[in-house]
């Protein structure tokens, strides 16, 4: 029984870590621009697919991974420049449609650049399961957990200690005030898309060896990432991480103990229940509506 619980927990943590990386991407862009980027899942796809095709072309991981991340970041920057920037000031729902349009466009593009097949990626360090307390975990899952932790630490350093990070944070609190103290708000917006695309790509490369990758792998992951970001509270880094892990663990626990057919539905019921009592998510900013 406890070995079973352990297995569910380890699986939930791995799945949750990926959701957390996606949720962080949502939050970073939301903070800078108040845009929910529904194309976030496509960065996961681009990262994974680019890594697959680069390694297939014979590049070593040390080269292929940074290049794949850079490719996704470039797409992120282009998205900001050509789709979000020109629509500044549009309503929430208009921006949602723009980013969904972008995600359809990117998927169509990926279908042409690559193909419609599933692709495997070689695990970073072997495929031999590691036993922990009667449960097993793949070495790649440890990579997922480790890299996610490292990214969370790096981000909190970045936003807490560096000038650029603080500028981005300031912009999220009050765009006008940030502009007044000389922060280049447009630059912050631009960079936030690059950063969040890079995060998505890292997630995509990390899970490709476990789950395979294809041109449409981003759709469901994007939705789950959004759900995690909302559950944690939009714009909160802490919230994104907790939201992701809670969602991942809730899913695997429901699959294990309740019903695997309804595990996603159960996850959404949990989110709805949380929102009924905490309308801004677990760690979201409270506060009134601007009149």
Partner 1 sequence: MLQRLASPRTGGLLALAAAIVLLPFLLSNSYFYDIAILVGLNAIVCVGLNLLIGYAGQISLGHAGFFGLGAYGSAILASRYGWPPLAAMLTTTLAVAALAFLVGRPILRLKGHYLAMATLGLGIIIFMVITTEDKFTGGPDGLSVVPFSIGEYTLRGERLWYWIVGALLLFAVWLALNLIESPAGRALRALHSSEVGAEVVGIDAARQKVMVFVISAVFASVAGSLAAHYSGFVTPGKVAFFHSIELVTMVVFGGMASTFGAVVGAAVLTTLPQLLTVFKDYEMMVFGAVMMGTMIFLPRGVVPSLGRLLELRRQGAASRSDPRT
Partner 2 sequence: MKTTQAKTSIKRSLAVLAASCALFTGQAVAQEPIKVGAFLSVTGGAAFLGDPENKTLELYVEKVNAAGGVLGRKLQLVSYDSAGDAEKARTFVKRLIEQDKVDLIVGGSTTGETMAVVPLVEAAQIPFISLAGAVVIIEPVKKWVFKTPHTDRMACEKVFVDMQARKLSKIALISGAGGFDKSMRAECLKVAAKHKIEVIADETYGAGDTDMTAQLTKIKNTAGVQAVLNPGFGQGPAIVTKNYRQIGIAFPLYQSHGVASKEFINLSGAAAEGVRLPAAALLIAESLPASDPQRSVVVNYKKDYEARFKSDVSTFGGHAYDGLMLAIEAVKKAGGTDKAKVRDALEGVRGYMGTAGVVNMSATDHMGLDLTAFRMLEGKGGNWTEVK
Closer to partner 2 by Cβ: residue 95 or 229: 229
**Site membership for partner 1, residue 3 (CB under 8 A):** no
Nearer Cβ to partner 1, position 9 or 229?
Answer: 229
- Give the nearer residue to partner 2 in terms of CB position, either 120 or 160: 120
The torsion angle over the Cα atoms of residues 223, 229, 230 and 234, rounded to 10 degrees, is -140
Q: Which residues contact 287 (CB under 8 A, 6 or more apart)?
A: none
Report phi then psi at 267, rounded to 5: -60, -40
Q: Which residues contribute to the site for partner 2 (CB under 8 A)?
A: 4, 7-8, 11-12, 14-15, 18, 111, 115-120, 127, 129, 135-136, 138, 207, 210-212, 214, 216-217, 219-221, 252-253, 255-256, 260-261, 263-264
Element (H or E) spanning 69, and its range?
A: helix 61-79
**Considering only residues 16, 17, 29, 107, which one is a binding residue for partner 1 as defined by CB under 8 A?**
107
Query: How many whole angstroms separate alpha carbon 50 and alpha carbon 48?
Result: 6
74 binds partner 1 (CB under 8 A): no
Q: Are strands 135-137 and 130-132 parallel, antiparallel or unpaired?
A: antiparallel
43 binds, among partner 1, partner 2, none (CB under 5 to 8 A by kind): none
Contact 102, 82 (CB under 8 A): no
Candidate list 56, 63, 66, 94; residue touching partner 1; CB under 8 A: 94
The sign of the dihedral angle between the CA atoms of 148, 187, 288, 180 is positive
Chain residues in the site for partner 1 (CB under 8 A): 30, 36, 83, 86-87, 90-98, 100-109, 111-112, 223, 226-227, 230, 234, 261-262, 264-265, 268-269, 271-272, 275-276, 279-281, 288-289, 291
């Amino acid at each position: 029984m406890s070995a079973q619980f352990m297995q569910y927990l380890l699986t939930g943590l791995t799945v949750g870590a990926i959701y957390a990386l996606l949720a962080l991407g949502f939050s970073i862009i939301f903070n800078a621009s108040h845009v929910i980027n529904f194309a976030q899942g496509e960065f996961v796809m681009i990262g994974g697919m680019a890594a697959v095709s680069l390694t297939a072309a014979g590049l070593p991981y040390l080269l292929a991974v940074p290049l794949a991340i850079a490719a996704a970041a470039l797409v992120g920057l282009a998205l900001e420049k050509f789709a979000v920037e020109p629509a500044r000031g549009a309503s929430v729902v208009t921006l949602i449609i723009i980013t969904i349009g972008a995600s359809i466009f990117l998927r169509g593009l990926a279908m042409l650049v690559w193909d419609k097949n599933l692709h495997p990626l070689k695990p970073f360090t072997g495929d031999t399961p590691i036993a922990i307390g009667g449960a097993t975990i793949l070495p790649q899952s440890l990579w997922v957990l480790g890299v996610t932790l490292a990214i969370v630490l790096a981000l909190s350093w970045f936003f807490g200690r560096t000038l650029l990070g603080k500028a981005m944070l300031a912009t999220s609190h009050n765009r006008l005030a940030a502009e007044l103290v000389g922060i280049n708000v447009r630059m912050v917006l631009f960079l936030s898309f690059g950063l969040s695309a890079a995060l998505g790509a890292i997630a995509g490369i990390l899970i490709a060896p476990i789950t395979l990758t294809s041109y449409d792998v981003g759709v469901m992951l994007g939705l789950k990432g959004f759900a995690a970001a909302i559950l944690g509270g939009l714009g909160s880094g802490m919230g994104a991480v907790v939201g992701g892990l809670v969602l991942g663990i809730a899913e695997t626990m429901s699959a294990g103990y309740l019903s695997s057919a309804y595990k996603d539905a159960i996850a959404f019921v949990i989110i709805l229940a949380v929102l009924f009592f905490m309308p801004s998510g677990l760690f979201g900013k409270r506060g009134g509506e601007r009149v």
